[in-house]
Amino acid sequence: MLSGLRAAVLPGSQRRTLDELTEDLDLRSGESRSKQSAFWTMLVLSGVIATAGILADSTATVIGAMIIAPLSTPIMGIALGIVKRERIRAGRFVLAGAVVVVLIGVAAAVLLPGAVDLTANSQVTSRTSPTVVDLVAAVATGFAGAVALSRRDVAAVLPGVAIAISLVPPLAVAGVCLGEGSVAQFLGALLLFLSNLVALVLAGTVLFAALGYAQEADAEARAVGAQRRMSLTLGILLVAVLVPLALNTATVLLLHGWTQAIHRAAAEWAQRIPGAEVTDVQFSANAFRISLRAPETVVSTDGLLQAVDAVVPSGLAIVLDTTYGEEISVGTTGAP
């Protein structure tokens, strides 16, 4: 059954050899100086492009940085090294590359004039609160990348894989957040990168082994102990990223539930104001912000806090934003 599945995923006529994969993924094999020069050049450029796109809140620019995707090469090189049961050398490039991109983001945030509104920048907010869904997507992307690398006829999908996995942008976001002094958002972006990294390595390792590349490697001549240590390390890392991802997923679901409940309660309250309508409820800056469209200035918020208080726990800050630019602090639920 396994051999049939292997033949379906990787037909013999399209199968790349282990030497070909090694040549592509090992930055220290073959013309190492040329490959490393290309890696560092593309990495720095990708970091600059990603950071510029984040500061400008430009999705198109950030996608450009994703397509360059130089970090995916040593990351998949780690997976191949595990399958070949050899000492992992690609990890140094991943670590050093990650530090370089973060430093580019820090430098941009510190040196460029004007502060970045981290709470309003969509490129930042979309990469600082990862969930288990992001990990699942990263694993699937890792499988797609490993298949594309193993076959000669589907290399065209690699840019799509690069866009889906997003390696450099989370690091650039981490650098920008660190430069702006937001440690919590820095850690959130770093968690996204680490979850993508672990997912790529695990998916690549499983698929490369399933496709028979482990049998091609001369296992007797390899450092088996190093491979076992790396596998254990990856297992620990997987658990380490799963725990915060699961907690963040639970938090996101909880906030979503509270947001929906607040929206319903506020909508009922708004019926008291002729022509008024609640258009949105968002959790931002540690408060639930209710957007109210009304034909006139809101003079009183009497009853709004009580209506919200009945459907959510105590301790939640409620703010009302109106179409006239008013920002009214309604209060905190459960407050006497």
- Cα 95–16–2 angle (5° rounding)? 95
Which of the four pLDDT bands, split at 50, 70 and 90, describes residue 243? confident
The answer on pLDDT for 257 being more than 90 is yes
When pLDDT is averaged across residues 323-333 and rounded to a whole number, the result is 83
When pLDDT is averaged across residues 265-275 and rounded to a whole number, the result is 89
Tokens representing 281 are 């409820």
Which residues, in sequence order, are CB contacts of 246 under 8 Å at separation 6+? 132
The domain segmentation of the chain, as residue ranges, is 2-222, 254-332
Tell me the range of 92-101, 111-120, 192-201, 236-245 where mean pLDDT is highest: 92-101
What's the pLDDT at 120?
82
* 7 and 31 Cβ atoms separated by less than 8 Å: no
When pLDDT is averaged across residues 79-85 and rounded to a whole number, the result is 83
This prediction's pTM: 0.79
DSSP 164: H
Q: Note every long-range contact of 280-287, with CB atoms under 8 Å and residues 24 or more positions apart, other chains counting.
A: 283/255, 283/258, 283/259, 284/119, 285/119, 286/317, 287/316, 287/317, 287/318, 287/319
The answer on pLDDT for 220 being more than 50 is no
What's the pLDDT at 158?
66
When pLDDT is averaged across residues 24-43 and rounded to a whole number, the result is 88
Which of the four pLDDT bands, split at 50, 70 and 90, describes residue 135? confident
What's the pLDDT at 49?
95
What's the pLDDT at 186?
93
What's the pLDDT at 212?
77
Burial per residue of 268-277, b for 16 or more beta-carbon CB atoms within 10 angstroms, e otherwise: ebbeeeeebe
Least confident segment among 117-121, 152-156, 300-304, 316-320: 152-156
Quote the CA–CA distance of 182 and 207 in Å, as a whole number: 38
The answer on pLDDT for 221 being more than 50 is no
The answer on pLDDT for 265 being more than 90 is yes
Average pLDDT, the chain: 84
When pLDDT is averaged across residues 259-282 and rounded to a whole number, the result is 91
Which of the four pLDDT bands, split at 50, 70 and 90, describes residue 5? low
Least confident segment among 12-16, 197-201, 223-227: 223-227
More confident residue, 260 or 145: 260
The answer on pLDDT for 7 being more than 70 is no
Percentage of the chain lying above the pLDDT 90 cut: 29
Crossing angle of helices 72-83/183-210, nearest 10°?
40
Quote the CA–CA distance of 50 and 61 in Å, as a whole number: 7
What's the pLDDT at 159?
66
When pLDDT is averaged across residues 291-314 and rounded to a whole number, the result is 85
Amino acid identity for residue 177 in this structure: C
Give the DSSP H or E segment for 318.
strand 317-322
What's the pLDDT at 223?
47
